[in-house]
Amino acid sequence: MMSWLTSFQCLASAPTETVGTEGGFLVLQVIGVLLGVMGLLFFLGAAVGLLRFPDFYTRMHAAGKGDTLSTMLMLAGFGLVTMEDLSLGSWLLLIKIMAVVLFVYLTSPTSSHALMRAAFEDDELPLTEDDLRNSKRGKRRKKR
Amino acid sequence: MTHWFAIIMGAALFTLMIPVIYRIWVGPTSFDRILGVNVIGTKTAVLLVVIGTLFDRVEMFVDFAISYALLNFVGAIVISRYLNRTISLKDMEAREKEGARKR
Amino acid sequence: MKWISLIPVFSVGALLLFAAKDFPEWGDPHSPASQSPVSSHFINNTGVDTEVPNMVTAVLADYRGFDTMFETVVVFIAGIAVLAILKGSGRRPRGRHRSYKLEAEPDLIVTYTVRLVVPVIQLFAFYVLAHGHVSPGGGFQGGVVMGASFILIALAWDLDHALVRMSLPRCMVIAAVGIIIYAGIGFLSMFMGGEFLDYAELERLLPVSREMARYYAILGVEIGVGFTVASIMFALYANLSSEGRLKGGL
């Protein structure tokens, strides 16, 4: 265990790069960090929705949308943060990360759709207003 | 700064995965569980990029992230297709029973 | 009863974590693996013997080329075994035979996405295969990604749709061609005067140095492995998902 920790500390205190000396890349990094934090915010939304929503379709709504958007935002943020110069290599890296973003953008909604269809054909019924009213009343009765 | 950003990001991602794992654990239907697995799979692709930033080998880990996202997609399609098929087999059995009753 | 099974899970996990503290540090030069003479030989000589930057690829396809060749043969034999067991086993009518014709239409959205994504996946498979010299990757990984693209076609439409593109006899022919490419490169280097799979002797055929001859021979070997793995992946899927019937399926 100790060895893991020490290697982790090595990583944490690894070369504090000389980024930020040039103004342009600092701006890029700040934008990247902002995008990453926004992505975390959307993932928080997805996680809370997945935890709190009452039936499968609403949970799928939260998870599908929040998951795709937060993945896109976080990966774009990392693409900007890791960009240290305007050399060919870093452009290539940005394009590769954007390829992951494009792939997730195409496939994640599709898999959500396929799951939704499978659930719908399994007669998984969405929660209607009546159900909600009945269950609320039932809960209150139980509490009393 | 990049390293600290990656570490904090990875820790936050990991923390936010806990509710999803709870949903996989208790999920009332199997679809809920698969949905949770799918979400975690997508986030693992992001975590791979985070780890790549930590190891200073992003160009290598991005390839892993692409193939992980690909396998995640294939897995989701496989499972939805499998459930679809077992469901229609169930339908067919019910129909066969009805037919036998009519006879 | 279900909860009792958590006890062994947690105890084994705790044992594994306890054992993890004895691991050598990451990149520790004094760990046993780094101190063996074999690894120091590879580290010192890979750059001299071949032009391959990725040491793992050089070890896999050159120093241990014999091993990798028979790994590929094992994959091939696995495919043939599944074929031999399942072929014709589903056609025997045993009791009431359920017809597997399903009404599930191919989904429009899924098919459209797969139509967009499959060329990208196949291109990525070639990239993984050819980029194995520089980054992690190679024949096995590229072959798996390639096979996954055909499996995706079979999932989005149905098995017949994929079998039109990659029929089972064609699969087996391509798998055999992959092994023939691998063994052929080995025999070619033997006829050129070296030992079996000693790629450096191919310099007489190729207009390059001995090191670059190894580079190109490793690429050829990886292509052979990719052929075999991709086609056997799809053959296994097609046979296992439809119980050897090659109809209907998942």
pLDDT of C249: 66
Q: How far is CA C218 from the centre of its chain?
A: 15
The whole-angstrom distance between C226's CA and the closest CA on chain A is 23
Mean pLDDT of chain A: 78
Domain count, chain B: 1
Put simply, the chain A residues between 107 and 126 with a CB less than 8 A from any chain C CB are: 107, 110, 113-114, 117
Q: How far is CA A110 from each of CA A83, B73, C150, rounded to the nearest angstrom? A: 31, 8, 18
The minimal CB distance from B19 to the residues A47, A96, A124 is found for A47
* Interface mutation target, options A22, A108, A124, A127, chain B, most CBs of B under 10 Å: A108
Domain residues for the domain of B88 are 2-102
Give the separation between CA A81 and CA C182, rounded to whole angstroms.
43
> Domain spans of chain C?
49-88+107-241
ipTM reported for the complex, 2 dp: 0.81
With an 8 Å Cβ cutoff, is A33 touching chain B?
Answer: yes
Contact C20 A4 (CB under 8 A): yes
Each residue's pLDDT, cut to its tens digit, for chain C (250 residues) gives 788 999 999 999 999 999 988 888 777 778 877 788 888 888 888 878 888 888 888 888 888 888 999 999 999 999 999 988 887 665 555 544 455 555 567 788 889 999 999 999 999 999 999 888 888 888 899 999 999 999 999 888 888 888 888 888 899 999 999 999 999 998 888 888 888 888 888 888 888 888 888 888 888 999 999 999 999 999 999 888 877 777 766 6
Q: How confident is the model at residue A5 (pLDDT cuts 50, 70, 90)?
A: very low
| Alpha-helical regions (H) of chain C | 6-19, 32-35, 37-49, 55-58, 65-86, 108-130, 139-156, 159-165, 168-191, 210-241
Query: In the structure encoding, which two tokens stand for residue B49, read together?
Result: 């990029």
pLDDT of C45: 82
Q: What is the DSSP letter of C61?
A: I
Phi, psi for B56 (deg, rounded to 5): 60, 30
Q: How confident is the model at residue B103 (pLDDT cuts 50, 70, 90)?
A: low
Whether A62 contacts A53, CB under 8 Å: yes
